[in-house]
Structures are given as C-alpha cells and as structure tokens.
C-alpha cells in the first residue's frame, strides 16, 4: 500500500537562486538562521550556505569550518553551527542537503515539505530537533548513503505526524534520547545498524503507521521493542512486516547469490512456507483470510478431484445437487472416501487431488484457528 495524500503548504517567499537565499537569511535572521515559509526553487545545501555566510561575515562568530578527509580520501568541510536553525513550513523543491553539519542549538523543520532528494548524512544534532508534521515525498532513492545515514541525535527528536511517502532510511544512525513518532506514517522504514542507546524510547510508536519495513532486521527490532513493552497487538503487526520483508529477500537476486547447493532447496522451502502463511492468515494476524483460504482450496481441489474422476464438461458441479452433497462431505476431513471407488475398484488417478485437497483444507482450518487465537499467545 502506498501513501497517496496530497500535502500543500502556503508560502510567503519564493527564492530562486543562491543569492536570494543568502539575502533572505541576512534580512530575516537575527539570532537564528530563519527560512520559515520559504519555497526554495533550487537545490539547497546548508553546508554551502554556511560557508558563504562566513565569507560575508554574517554570523561569523557562530559558524566554524573544519576541513577533514573522509574515508574515500576526499576533503570535506564540516560546519559547526552555534545558533538555532528554523525551517518551519519551508518547501524544498529541488533537493535539500544538510550533510556534515554539527547543530549545537535546536533545529526546527516543523511542517516543511521535502519534494525531492534530501540528506542529513553524517550530521550531529547536539540539541533537540523537530520534524513534526514534515513531509518527505521522495519514493525512490539512488544512493544508499542519503537520508539519515550516520546521523547522530544527542537529544530528543520528534517525528510527530510526519509523513514519509517512501523509505525513511536511518542506516547507522544513532539515537541517544527519546524519539517521538506518534501518528507518523512510514511508506517504508530501515533501522538496520541503527544504534538506540539503552534508555531510548520510541514514544507512542503504537500510534504510528508502518506500511512495510525495508528488511527483516528492522521488523525484528520493532517486534522485539513491542515485546519489551508487553504490547502483543503491535508485536503481531511487526511480526507480519518482518515475515513480509524476509519473504521479499528470499525472492531477491541477493538471496540467490547468498545460497548455493542444498541451501537453495532450503531457500525454496522457506519461500513456499512463507507464501502459504501469507496467503492463509497473513502470518497469524487475519482470521478472515484463513476462512477465505480454506474455502478457496476446498473449491479448487474438489473441482480438480471431480474433473479427474468424471471428466470435464459433464455437469457444472456447483449447481448439481449430488455434487454439492459430495462437496460438503469432502470439506469434512473424515468424509468423501466413497468418491475414490467405483464398485470395488479404487480410482488411483484421484488419490493425489483427493489427498492434497484434504491436506490443504486441514492446513486452512488450522491457520484459521491460529489467527482466531492471535491475542491469546
């Protein structure tokens, strides 16, 4: 399921060039960098903005620049920002990059809209940061080191009512204090290698909506967190997301490359089992799906059984009284054996559809009961 909400933000200032952005900051910012209610129609790079402000001697005592060499041997500029950064109801049309910046004071992105690429890669928030009601519209990404990759949050961070249309990627990010995700909506989320300090809490996580997780590790983390909070309802939902992500991995090329020989047989077995579990009761969460699965396999296998035994086109079995009576007997696990014989002759060609149907009906009934008892585990 995809997020299809349309979000629009009224803006007061249209900024179309780097120079206009710099002039706006110089005019509207006193004790903070302020971009409230602006629409930025060019790519925005805060690192570049801070370097330019430093050159213009604007906030020069509040901005420090440190040149470092990254893992690839390239020189990067790390900016130290010692005043608050405000960006409320700001629209970033062509990309927003906040990379390699240390925010010493609070940062506000309340109600901002990120319509294209964005990145907070390798930035540090030493104070609180607020993304409440922000909207991240990008649905696909080309780089795995964007978004919140290796971002460090030293204080509380809020994603209250925030919407991620696509992937919310927090790979290798660090959270030291509480993360408020009440009523947030995630098209997908990735918490692989994310570090949550011991006392970090996901505040009101049970009110957030997770459409899917990007990998099994993320689903497992959320499931274990809900288990730690004695939240059996959310635990079941996260278990379903975990299994869906694992099934997707098993179908991927990466899975084929990771497995060889006998492992491929086990891989096929896992795919079969997970697919059946998804179809039969959505990994233990849907009683209604269990009933539908049982009815479906009953209809399919009984029809197959009758067509093998009596041929095709002799009668429409679901409107014929005799066949309907036999169909009801077939649904009951211990009945229907008379249909396998003609006089004293056993119809061996009917054995396979007959037995397979019984097995799948029994499986469907078991899965239905299992889903019905999901809150009793």
Q: Across the chain, what does the average pLDDT equal?
A: 85
Q: Are residues 76 and 191 in the same domain?
A: yes
Q: Are residues 313 and 192 in the same domain?
A: no
pLDDT digits (tens, 9 = 90+) for 24-38: 998 887 789 999 999
**Averaged over 39-45, what is the pLDDT?**
94
- For 133-188, the DSSP string reads T-EE-----S-TT-BTTT-EE-S-EE-TT-EEEEEEE-TT-EE-S-EE-TT-EEEE
Q: What is residue 143's predicted lDDT score, i.e. its pLDDT?
A: 58
* Strand order across the beta sheet in which 195-196 lies: 63-69, 75-81, 101-103, 124-125, 152-153, 174-175, 195-196
Confirm whether 235 is domain-assigned. Answer: no
Q: Packing angle between helix 321-331 and helix 287-310, nearest 10 degrees?
A: 130
Confirm whether 4 is domain-assigned. Answer: no
Total number of domains in the chain:
2
Q: Are residues 319 and 206 in the same domain?
A: no
Confirm whether 189 is domain-assigned. Answer: yes
Q: Are residues 55 and 141 in the same domain?
A: yes
* Token duo for residue 285: 């969460």
Q: Are residues 33 and 145 in the same domain?
A: yes
Q: Are residues 21 and 158 in the same domain?
A: yes
CA distance 296 to 291: 9
pLDDT at residue 61 greater than cutoff 60: yes
Confirm whether 266 is domain-assigned. Answer: no
Residue 297 DSSP code? H
Residue pair 239/263 in contact by the 8 Å Cβ criterion: no
pLDDT digits (tens, 9 = 90+) for 163-219: 999 999 998 999 999 999 999 999 999 998 999 998 899 999 999 999 999 999 999
Q: Name the pairing type of β-strands 113-114 and 85-86.
A: unpaired
Q: Give burial (CB, 10 Å; 0-12/13-18/19+) of 12.
A: exposed
Q: Are residues 197 and 321 in the same domain?
A: no
Confirm whether 242 is domain-assigned. Answer: no
Confirm whether 271 is domain-assigned. Answer: no
Q: Are residues 187 and 298 in the same domain?
A: no
CB atoms within 10 A of CB 200: 17
Identify which has the larger pLDDT, 317 or 258.
Answer: 317
Write out the residue range of the structural domain in which residue 321 sits: 287-376
Confirm whether 267 is domain-assigned. Answer: no
CA distance 374 to 377: 6
Domain boundary residue, one of 186, 211, 236: 211
Q: Are residues 172 and 61 in the same domain?
A: yes
Q: Are residues 203 and 315 in the same domain?
A: no
**Averaged over 5-11, what is the pLDDT?**
70
Domain boundary residue, one of 211, 246, 276: 211
Domain boundary residue, one of 182, 211, 240: 211
CA distance 215 to 235: 16
The structure's pTM equals 0.78
Confirm whether 201 is domain-assigned. Answer: yes
């Amino acid at each position: 399921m995809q997020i299809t909400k349309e979000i629009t933000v009224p803006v007061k200032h249209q900024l179309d060039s780097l120079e206009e952005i710099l002039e706006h900051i110089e005019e509207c910012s006193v004790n903070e960098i302020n971009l409230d209610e602006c629409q930025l129609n060019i790519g925005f790079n805060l690192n570049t903005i801070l370097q330019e402000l430093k050159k213009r001697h604007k906030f020069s005592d509040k901005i420090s620049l440190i040149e470092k060499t990254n893992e690839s041997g390239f020189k990067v500029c790390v900016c130290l920002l010692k005043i608050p950064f405000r960006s409320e109801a700001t629209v970033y049309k062509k990309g927003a990059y906040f990379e390699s910046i240390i925010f010493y004071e609070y940062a506000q992105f309340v109600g901002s809209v990120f319509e294209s690429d964005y990145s907070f890669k390798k930035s540090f928030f030493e104070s609180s940061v607020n993304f409440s009601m922000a909207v991240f519209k990008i649905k696909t990404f080309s780089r795995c080191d964007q978004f919140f990759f290796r971002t460090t949050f030293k204080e509380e961070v809020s994603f209250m009512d925030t919407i991620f249309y696509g992937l919310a990627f927090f790979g290798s990010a660090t959270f030291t204090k509480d993360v408020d995700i009440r009523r947030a909506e995630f098209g997908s989320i990735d918490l692989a290698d994310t570090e949550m300090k011991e006392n970090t809490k996901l505040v009101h996580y049970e009110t957030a909506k997770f459409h899917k997780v990007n990998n099994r590790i993320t689903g497992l983390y959320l499931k274990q967190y809900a288990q730690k909070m004695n939240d059996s309802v959310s635990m079941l939902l996260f278990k379903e997301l975990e299994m869906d992500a694992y099934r997707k991995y098993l179908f991927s090329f990466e899975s084929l490359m990771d497995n060889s020989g006998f492992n491929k047989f086990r891989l096929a077995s896992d795919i079969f089992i997970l697919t059946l579990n998804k179809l039969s009761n959505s990994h233990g969460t849907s009683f209604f799906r269990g009933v539908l699965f049982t009815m479906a396999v009953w209809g399919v296998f009984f029809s197959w059984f009758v067509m093998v035994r009596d041929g095709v086109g002799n009668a429409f079995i679901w409107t014929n009284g005799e066949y309907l009576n036999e169909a009801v007997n077939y649904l009951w696990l211990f009945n229907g054996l008379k249909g396998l014989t003609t006089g004293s002759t056993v119809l061996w060609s009917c054995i396979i559809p007959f037995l397979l149907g019984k097995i799948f009906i029994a499986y469907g009934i078991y899965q239905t009961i299992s889903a019905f008892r999901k809150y009793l585990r």
